[in-house]
Structure 1
């Protein structure tokens, strides 16, 4: 935008921009106000907002030193807006000061356009337009919010913005790379991904089908998602069974992508080594899930799952993760001392019986002396071990007479076999 000043007078460009932006804001505000209040209580029209922006520009350039004219015009505009609000409140019982604030922002466009870079004043206009148009969206969002939603957000801000910066970065145990800051950093990253998946599930895909539930749930915890789906499948018919198994496999597929994100955050070297294998694993698992999904009868397609509004962001979950991180850090340290990389390989398979995220993040953060190729192999082994455990969870929670069991064996068995071949290929290469 600044390049226009090389070909056109600066005053002309600024005037045109202020006029255009004021008109856009006026058009948006007029449409919303007509829907909400009607013509009787409307403060001006789209032309009114345009003239407010032009007036602000004229008074700004007439006294560019002390800005007395601009401030005086703002005071008069504020007085007129106050009188308008008083009449609406007393005579028509219409409340709300959104129009007043937007009018004052429109009046301030002139100095903003004249003094600030283009990205800034465009951002201001876009923000005003978006928040004006999204009024009903925010209303629906507030109606769907649970009573403790703001408390949950405050918890996340507390653990990430208050607790994390205050923690020391010195090691707790001499010789072991285990600092309070690194422990809580891993907790914050995982909690952030979990919280994001919860927000997507509740406010974006709140009426989604089983496949979408598996995708969103896999961002949080594939084990928890598979366990919940297996329990819910007990009332499913034989025709609906493939849909549940396909959703479970989509949760596993998203698990691979979740670890790609976590590995990319904590270790670029490991990411460069492991990303082809994790991507192939994710695509293969998603392909198997889609194949099983395609076996559904047409009558079952598009079935909607009841909403699961459970919130994964709890302090006890964060504390459990932190404890597991400490346990795996100490276990990894002494395993390397007394058993070497062979013991670390065994530990990677054992970690699959619990939450493998602390084990993998510990490998990425706390084992600087371990080669990247060993970290990659152990991460893949832990993931495969965890998939086997997830298959057992799905098998057990589905029930003895469940129609899911054959589909679970076929689907998970295919994924595990291909992943084992990929792991073998990794060792051979």
Structure 2
């Protein structure tokens, strides 16, 4: 046995003991001898897997399968005897024991890093049993459906899509388009659950912070409508400005995923707009009206739904075709017109389109200017929505902050 194998055996033993540490702590109140498996047993299970992997070289891979079957039989029998006394039918310890054995096999098969990462994940999953069960108890049918639908488009549909260019100007790559849809859907679903965890009674500012991550435009419209029923213009303006301030870091996150090379040129105008909106939100909050408890549950976004994802994908295809067509016939500067028009409805689609095109089709300056113009347009749209749904007092409190953000962005662009 060489030093590498000895090191792998020690790591396998440590991983098993890590999982066994959690299992032993979980059953710490059981009487002596009443545990199915603890820190020593799990350490030995992982070591058994490691030794079996070594024996697979002279005896063949069948020994790994045979040993696994034997471990399942022994652990299953122990679980059956234990369940006759405490009537606990859970199979977690049995499954964890089998996984621990397989981690030992994995460690001796040259996949040491994967074995370590898996062991840590398994330990975390085992330890957060109560939290996971609590979360399941509070999930609604629509939330479960949203999680499953997101898994469907991310894990089932995405891998089978062709990763090559199609259509006019080779503008459409099905795999990349759907990957962008998954990205936006994932961000929105994460924001939804973050808002759910904080609760609907945490106030306008926290709701605006998380709702802005999901959809700052939708949250602006909701707050503007609330002002029509409950006139609190400075308080609600601070919420809209905070939601707008979150939109710009979200743009940077999307660009970081698609084309991180744009970030050095894009972050100055995005940071300027973030600071402008954040400062204005702070000023509005400081001089807000006295108010009691406000139920913000109506501001919560919906969990992931398949139809809006398909609609976003269709919008993304249209914008990509239009952008490539205008670039081919009018040059790169024509894309700025597309950015302004796209920003009227959705800033994500044009952001992802320009970031993707900047990898090989357009210059960095064109992409950065286009994304910034789309953000500026969408910022001004929020002011229009406030006037349409929330009336003049809300606009008087809101517009100075939006104008400040736009002015800072234009100043930053002129200096780049």
2:285: which partner in 1?
A: 293
Task: Answer whether contact 1:273 1:376 (CA < 8 A) is retained.
Answer: yes
2:397: which partner in 1?
A: 410
Indicate the larger mover: 61-70 or 287-296: 61-70
> Which one has the largest radius of gyration?
1
Shift, 1:223, TM fit: 0.6
User: Given the alignment, which residue of 373, 376, 387 partners 2:379?
Assistant: 387
Aligned mates of 2:306, 2:290 — CA distance in 1? 43
Shift, 1:383, TM fit: 1.5
Aligned mates of 1:171, 1:191 — CA distance in 2? 24
Task: Answer whether contact 1:195 1:313 (CA < 8 A) is retained.
Answer: yes
1:139: which partner in 2?
A: 133
Q: How does 1:19-418 map to 2 (within 5 A)?
A: 21-33=15-27, 38-39=30-31, 42-44=34-36, 46=38, 49=41, 52-53=44-45, 56=48, 65-66=58-59, 78-106=72-100, 116=110, 118-164=112-158, 165-167=160-162, 169-173=164-168, 175=169, 177-203=171-197, 208-236=202-230, 238=232, 241-296=233-288, 305-306=296-297, 310-311=301-302, 313-332=304-323, 335=326, 344-366=335-357, 370-398=362-390, 400=391, 405-406=392-393, 408-418=395-405
Indicate the larger mover: 223-232 or 335-344: 335-344
Aligned length: 411
CA deviations on 1:373-400 (whole Å, 9 max, x unpaired) are: 23322322221121111112123323x4
Query: Structure 2 vs 1, CA of residues 347 and 15 (structure 1 numbering), >3 Å: closer, same or farther?
Result: closer
Residue segments in structure 2 that go unaligned for 5+ positions in a row: none
Aligned mates of 2:180, 2:156 — CA distance in 1? 15
What is the TM-score with the length of structure 2 in the denominator?
0.79
Secondary structure at the residue paired with 1:324? Answer: helix
Query: Structure 2 vs 1, CA of residues 70 and 39 (structure 1 numbering), >3 Å: closer, same or farther?
Result: farther
Aligned mates of 1:425, 1:298 — CA distance in 2? 37
RMSD over aligned CA atoms reads 4.1
Secondary structure at the residue paired with 1:221? Answer: helix
Query: Structure 2 vs 1, CA of residues 52 and 204 (structure 1 numbering), >3 Å: closer, same or farther?
Result: farther
Residue segments in structure 1 that go unaligned for 5+ positions in a row: none
What is the TM-score with the length of structure 1 in the denominator?
0.77
Aligned mates of 1:233, 1:41 — CA distance in 2? 65
